[in-house]
Amino acid sequence: MHMKNIISFLLSISVLFNILSCEKIETITGEQSALGEVGTTLNGDFNGASNVDVKVVSLDNGISTIEGTFTMTDPRYKKLIESHPKFFDVDGDKVRVHDVKFKVTTNGIEHVSGESNGIVIKYDSKKGDTYSNGRKVTHVSTDNDFKWRGMNIKVIQVEGETPKAEGVKSVTYWGNHRFGIVAVETTFDDGSTDYASVLIR
């Protein structure tokens, strides 16, 4: 396959911002995953998102760089995006993302750009594990118990607060060793939530 599945739409917009506050203590090992190769596209049914054209544009020494454009009309996500001008250029509802970097291996995903770095997901995680950035593994499938895109798959569920994500209280996301991040639920400061299924191919 030329197009592969990886992280979410910007690792989901919200997951990306959550990661900006990580401390670099843990790192991902393992072989390079096809999920991080050039040409991989990222998308998700986030509220207010459309015209998404986001992809991996380079792979250098195991580091994948994500860039692209999309339209965002949801004011909750716009507040989040506008608080990170280093990675997002905003013109009305039009957004350009650039210079977002991840390490994607057969063992998991690590964010390697931003104010600090950190583990996104480790595929050998066990329920109760806590990553060095404070995110907790709250569920690990023992069978195909998660419905996604017409399939039932195994997932790892990770939850964490987002102290440096403007307007966001916490993020829960679900990942799979084959498809990367497959879903994200964002809880905003006003108590509202948005659940998005993620498809990267």
Which residues, at least 6 apart from 68, have a Cβ–Cβ distance to it below 8 Å?
A: 42, 52, 53, 54, 55, 57, 96, 97
Is 57 a domain residue? yes
Confidence of residue 26 (pLDDT cuts 50, 70, 90): confident
User: 4 lies in a domain?
Assistant: no
pLDDT of residue 117: 65
Give me the domain span that covers residue 52: 13-200
- Taking the C-alpha atoms of residue 27 and residue 111, their distance in angstroms, rounded to an integer, is 9
Place of tokens 């299924």: 197
Say how far apart CA 138 and CA 141 lie, in whole Å: 10
Tell me 81's DSSP state: H
In a domain, 64, yes or no: yes
3-class SS of residue 86: coil
Q: pLDDT for 106-147, tens place per residue?
A: 999 988 886 546 888 999 999 999 988 888 999 999 999 999
pLDDT for 118: 80
pLDDT at 134: 84
Distance (Å, rounded) from C-alpha 33 to C-alpha 102? 11
Tokens 């013109």, residue located: 91
Total domains in the chain come to 1
- Does the residue 160 lie in any domain? yes
**Domain assignment of residue 7, yes or no:** no
The average pLDDT across 191-201 equals: 92
Residue 180 resides in a domain: yes
Tell me if 8 is assigned to some domain: no
